[in-house]
Structure 1
Amino acid sequence: MHSSYWRTLKDLPWQDRSVAWRVKVRRFRCSHCPGRIFAEPVPGLTRAKAQRSDRLAEAQTDIGMALGGEAGARLSRRLAMPVSGDTVLRLIRRCKSAGCASPRVVGIDDWAWRRGRRYGTIVCDLERGRVLDLLPGRACEPVRDWLAAHPDIAVVSRDRAGPYAEAARLGAPQAIQVADRWHLLVNASEALRSLVERHQAEIREAARQAAFQDAPAAIVAVAPADPPPEQDTGHGGGRRRQRCETALRLHGEGVAIKTIARTLGASRNSVRRWLRVGAFVPYRRAPAPSRLDAHLRFVEARWQDGQHNAAGLYRELRAIGFEGGYKIVQRWAKRRRRGLPTRPPSARIPSTRRIARCLTSDPASLPPADRRFIAALCALAPRLQAAAEQVRGFGAILRARDPAALKPWLEAAAASELGGFVAGLRQDEAAVHAAIGEPWSNGAVEGQVNRLKLIKRSMYGRAGLNLLRQRVLHAA
C-alpha cells in the first residue's frame, strides 16, 4: 500500500436531510503496472473521481430529463439533493442511450428549430412508439446514412418531401415507402385552394347571388346575371400584375422564394400565393357594408305601401333602431324613384380555405347560407365543381382503403384542373399506393414532434441538438 485519502460522496437524502459519505480510499503501488500508483475502486457506490453516488446521480439525471437544467436544480434542492443547473445538464449529456432492437418500421418527418429558417429530422419506431434519433437538417444525406446503418428496416413512412423519398430510396432500397395519408389529403386540399383562387370573379358573383336570395324581390329583379369582366381596379393594379409576373419568371429561373420576396419587396407568403395560383388574379374590392342593409326589407315594404318620402322613411327607420344617417336613406329613395337598381345587400366573401372546405363537404351538412353560395358558385364555375368532386373521390379512396381504385381515379382526374396534383402523385405512385393499402402512417411521428416542441420550448429554444436529443430520447 502506498497511502490513503478521504473521499466525500453525496448520497440520497434521509428524512429530508442531505447525506454525504466520508470514505477512506487506499492507494497501492505496483512496479509492473502502467500506472505505478492507483486507488482502489468503490464498486456499487460510485465511479472514479465522482463526487456523488451512482444512485444520487441517477435520480438527479431523471429529474433533469423531465424538467431541464434550472428547473431540475430547483426541484433537487427542494428534495434535499442540492445541485447546480449546469451539473444537471452535464449529467443529462453524459447519460448513455439504452440499446434497443433494430427497428423494422420507421417514420420520418421534419420539425422546426425556427419556422421558415432552420429545421431538423425526427426518426421514430412506429411499432414501439418511441423516438429513435434526431438528425440535423432535413437534407437527404443524413437520413440516407442513418437508414443505411439499419439494414433491417422494412417499411419507411414519410411525408411527400423529395429529400426523404430520395433518402429512403438510397439508404433503404429494400424497404417499402409509405406516403402519409394526412399529407396526401392536405396536398389535395391545397390543390383545390389554388383552383379556387383563380375564380375570383365567379366567387364574387356567387356571393352576390346568394345575398340576392335573401333580398326583397324588387332588388333581386335588378341583380346582374353575368359575372363582371376581369379588370385591374383600384390603385396599384398594374403594379401588382407586374410583381406577380416577375415572381413567376424568377421562380422559373430557379430563384429561391426568399430572394424573390426581397427583390420585389413583398412578403414570402404573397410570393407563395402567386406561385401557387400560377397566374395573376385581378383584385376587385368587395363593396363595403351599409347600415341600411339590415333594414332593406322594411324600407322596400314601406315603399310598396306608398311611403316615397325619404324624410318619412328616415324617421320610421330611426324608430326601429336604424343608426345610419339621412343621406343613406335619401340616396336609396332617389335611385328607387328613378327606377334605377338599388344597391344590393353586401355579402361577405368567404376565404378560399372556407370555400375549398365547403366544396368538399356534404351539402346537407352545410349551413343554408353556405349551401346557397356553393350552389351558385358551382353553377358559375362547373370546372371548379368537377375538380372538387375529384378531391372528394380521392378522400373517399383513402378512407375506404381501396388501392385498386387509385389508378382509375388518376386517369379521370388527369383530365380535370387537378393535372398538377395528379402529376405529383404519379411521380410517387408506389408510396401513394402503399399509403392506401398499408396500415402505417406518420400520425405517431406527428405526436412525437409535438412532444419535442414542448421540450424545446421549455428550454426557451436555447438547447443544442445534443441536449435536445438526450431529453427527447430519455423523457418518460
Structure 2
Amino acid sequence: MTLTEVLLVSRDRYNVFQQAIEEANPAIVQVSDRFHLTKNLWELLDKVLLKALPTKIRRTPLNDDGAIQTEPTERQLPMSANEKKSVENGQKKWALALRIKELRNQGLSYLKLADVFHLDRRTVKKYCEMNGPMDQKHRYRTSPVDPFVDHIKHCVHLGKTVKRMVKELRDMGYKGTYSAVRIRVQDLRRDAKYGVRKKETTFSRKHIRYLFWLPFEELESEEKEILDDALSQYPDTQELYGFVQLFRDMIHFRDLETFYFLLNSKENYQSKSIRLFIGKLQEDPQSIHNALVYTYNNGLLEGHVNRLKLIKRLTYGRASFTLLRQRVLFGA
C-alpha cells in the first residue's frame, strides 16, 4: 500500500516505524520527535552516572585559604543500634553484589542469576552495576516534630523525660507519635553528650545528574562549585558532561553544524555508552536532521496517548469495554 497523500510523519526513534513508513512511501519526510531525542540523552546521562558515581558523594573539605583539608574537623559520634544494623545490611548487599558480578563475568545471564539467588532480574542487573557498598542513609523527611524542635531542645536542657515532653507538646498542638519525639530526643542527647558535630557535607548522585543537565551559566555559584568538585573527584565523567551539554544545546538551538560534528566524532570518545549512542544516531541521521529543521513534533499524539492511559487505569477492573469506549469518545 502506497500512501501518496501523506507528506510528513513525526515519530519516535523506533526503527520499525522507520521501516514501515519507508515501505508505505519512501517520499514521506520523517521527523524524529525532539522530546524523544532529549529523553534518549537523559537516559544516557542516568545510565552512565549510575555506574560512575556512588549514591552519595562527599564534598571535598577546604580550608579558609582554599586548600584541601587533610585533617578531619568533625568529631564522629558513635552509631546507634539502627545505624549499625543499616551499615551491616549495606555490607551484606555489597558482598552479594560481588558474588553476582563474579558469576556474571563467568557468562551467566541475568535470568539465570535471578533464579539462583531468588531475586528479580532487575535487582540482579542493579547489583551488577554497583561500584561500591550501598549508601544506607535515609533521606531526611519532614516530621510533625520539626515545628517543636526548639521546645524539645529546651526540655532536654532541663532534663525532662520524654513522657513529660510529649504531654507538653500535645498541649501545644502536636499530633505526631510518641516514638518520633523519643528518637529526636535520643539524637539531641547524644549530640549533647559527645559534642555537636557539623554535618558531613555531601551531595547526591541525583543532584549531580541535575547539574550535569542544566546549562552552566544558569547554575548558582554554589552549584558551580559542587559541579566542579564532582568533575574533579570523578574525572571519567568529564567527557559525559561535555557531550550532554553539547547535544542538549544542539537540540535547543537547532544546530545542524554541531549535529554533524557529533555524528563524525564517534571514535573521539572513550566512553562505550557515548559511542553506542552516536552509533544509534548514525543509523537514522536524516530524520534527526529534519527534527532540527522542521517544527513538527509528537506533542498532540502523546497527549492523547497519556489521556487514554489515564482513562484505562482509572477504570481498570471496574468497567467493561463498552463503558471504556464511551469515556474515550466522550472527551475526543
What TM-score do the two structures reach when normalised by structure 1? 0.47
CA distance in 2, matches of 1:156, 1:381: 42
Matched, 1:444 2:300: yes
CA distance in 2, matches of 1:467, 1:346: 56
Whether contact under 8 Å (1:181, 1:441) holds in the other structure is: yes
CA distance in 1, matches of 2:323, 2:124: 36
Aligned to 1:345: 199
CA distance in 2, matches of 1:409, 1:159: 20
Q: 2:131 aligns with which of 278, 281, 295?
A: 281
- Using the TM superposition, give the Cα deviation of residue 460 of structure 1 relative to its aligned residue in structure 2, in angstroms: 3.8
Structural mapping, 1:91-130, within 5 Å? none
1:404–1:220 distance in 2 versus 1, CA, 3 Å: closer
Q: Aligned with 2:31: secondary structure?
A: strand
- Using the TM superposition, give the Cα deviation of residue 467 of structure 1 relative to its aligned residue in structure 2, in angstroms: 7.4
CA distance in 1, matches of 2:126, 2:19: 27
Q: Aligned with 2:204: secondary structure?
A: coil
Matched, 1:384 2:234: no
Q: 1:420 aligns with which of 246, 257, 276?
A: 276
Aligned to 2:71: 222
Whether contact under 8 Å (2:31, 2:287) holds in the other structure is: yes
1:369–1:181 distance in 2 versus 1, CA, 3 Å: same
Whether contact under 8 Å (1:245, 1:279) holds in the other structure is: no
- Using the TM superposition, give the Cα deviation of residue 451 of structure 1 relative to its aligned residue in structure 2, in angstroms: 2.6
CA distance in 1, matches of 2:108, 2:25: 36
CA RMSD of aligned residues (A): 4.2
Q: Aligned with 1:285: secondary structure?
A: coil
1:451–1:243 distance in 2 versus 1, CA, 3 Å: same
Q: 2:18 aligns with which of 158, 165, 171?
A: 165
Q: Aligned with 1:156: secondary structure?
A: strand
1:246–1:170 distance in 2 versus 1, CA, 3 Å: farther
Q: Aligned with 1:222: secondary structure?
A: coil
Q: Which amino acid aligns with 1:403?
A: L
Alignment gaps of 5+ in structure 2: 74-89, 140-153, 159-183
Structural mapping, 1:58-457, within 5 Å? 148=1, 150-200=3-53, 204-205=56-57, 207-209=58-60, 212-213=61-62, 220-223=69-72, 234-244=91-101, 249=107, 264-267=117-120, 269-270=122-123, 273=126, 279-285=129-135, 318=157, 324=187, 328=191, 331=194, 345-352=199-206, 354-412=207-265, 414-416=267-269, 417=271, 418-457=274-313
Aligned to 1:141: none
1:268–1:183 distance in 2 versus 1, CA, 3 Å: farther
Percent identity between the aligned chains?
A: 23
What TM-score do the two structures reach when normalised by structure 2? 0.64
Structure with the largest fraction of strand: 1
1:329–1:355 distance in 2 versus 1, CA, 3 Å: same
CA distance in 2, matches of 1:288, 1:344: 18
Structure with the largest fraction of helix: 2
- Any idea what the Cα deviations from partners look like across 1:142-200, whole Å, max 9, x if unmatched? xxxxxx47443222221122332333333343322221111111111111122212223
- Any idea what the Cα deviations from partners look like across 1:322-345, whole Å, max 9, x if unmatched? 954666566569xxxxxxxxx773
CA distance in 1, matches of 2:70, 2:199: 13
1:366–1:264 distance in 2 versus 1, CA, 3 Å: farther
1:375–1:160 distance in 2 versus 1, CA, 3 Å: same
Q: Aligned with 1:177: secondary structure?
A: strand
- Any idea what the Cα deviations from partners look like across 1:303-350, whole Å, max 9, x if unmatched? xxxxxxxxxxxx9x959xx954666566569xxxxxxxxx77323442
- Any idea what the Cα deviations from partners look like across 1:82-108, whole Å, max 9, x if unmatched? xxxxxxxxxxxxxxxxxxxxxxxxxxx
Whether contact under 8 Å (1:397, 1:406) holds in the other structure is: yes
CA distance in 2, matches of 1:263, 1:385: 38
CA distance in 1, matches of 2:102, 2:290: 39
- Using the TM superposition, give the Cα deviation of residue 288 of structure 1 relative to its aligned residue in structure 2, in angstroms: 8.0
- Any idea what the Cα deviations from partners look like across 1:255-310, whole Å, max 9, x if unmatched? 7x7x8756653345535656xxx744222436789xxxxxxxxxxxxxxxxxxxxx
